[in-house]
């Protein structure tokens, strides 16, 4: 009884699988032209998996049709669905791929900024340095202070330091 039930759902399952594989082939052709930035090796792996699945299914269907209804099935609807789902997953992964160059460029730009200390200020060209005070500023190993020998800062105010 169970084998007859499996055979009743098996034939529509393999018809559906062949149709799904045909759709996956079409999707791959489209993605191969629109996702040229994806390495050829990755695109070829997906293509090979789809073709391998197609030939696997063709062989199993031929073997299954040669068996009597009383023999144990070589192919089950569950196996077919599993293989097709993996092929669809590979195509979906290829579809979701974004152009890596843009991501890498953004990462490099962020990395340049992250190499700077957190309190770094880039004043740039044309900065009016007359309005900037250097009170206890450290450049390398030297510390610069805006306090003169008399304990007065650059504005002539007493700082209390000597």
Measure the CA dihedral 99/103/105/107, to 10°.
-160
Instruction: Give residue 76's pLDDT.
Output: 85
Instruction: Give residue 156's pLDDT.
Output: 53
What DSSP string runs through 30-60? HHHHH-TTS-HHHHHHHHHHHHHHHHHHHHH
Handedness of CA 125, 128, 130, 132 (dihedral sign): negative
- For 107-126, write each residue's pLDDT tens digit: 666 655 556 566 556 666 66
Where does the pLDDT of residue 52 fall: very low under 50, low under 70, confident under 90, or very high at 90 and above?
very high
Quickly tell me which residue has 């990462």 as its tokens.
107
Contact 10, 64 (CB under 8 A): yes
Beta bridge partners of 137: 144
What share of the chain has pLDDT > 90, as a percent?
26
- For 58-75, write each residue's pLDDT tens digit: 999 899 888 887 777 888
Instruction: Give residue 146's pLDDT.
Output: 58
């Amino acid at each position: 009884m169970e084998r007859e039930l499996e055979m009743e759902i098996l034939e529509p399952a393999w018809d559906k699988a062949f149709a799904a594989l045909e759709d996956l082939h079409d999707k791959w052709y489209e993605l191969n032209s629109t996702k040229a930035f994806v390495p050829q090796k990755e695109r070829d792996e997906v293509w090979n998996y789809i073709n391998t699945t197609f030939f696997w299914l063709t062989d199993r269907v031929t073997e299954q049709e040669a068996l009597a209804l009383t023999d144990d099935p070589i192919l089950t609807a569950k196996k077919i669905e599993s293989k097709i789902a993996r092929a669809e997953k590979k195509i979906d992964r290829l579809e979701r791929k974004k152009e890596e160059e843009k991501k890498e460029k953004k990462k490099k730009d962020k990395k340049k900024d992250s190499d700077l200390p957190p309190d770094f200020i880039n004043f740039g060209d044309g900065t009016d340095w007359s309005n900037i005070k250097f009170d206890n500023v450290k450049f390398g190993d030297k510390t610069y202070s805006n306090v003169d020998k008399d304990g007065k800062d650059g504005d002539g105010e007493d700082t209390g330091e000597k």
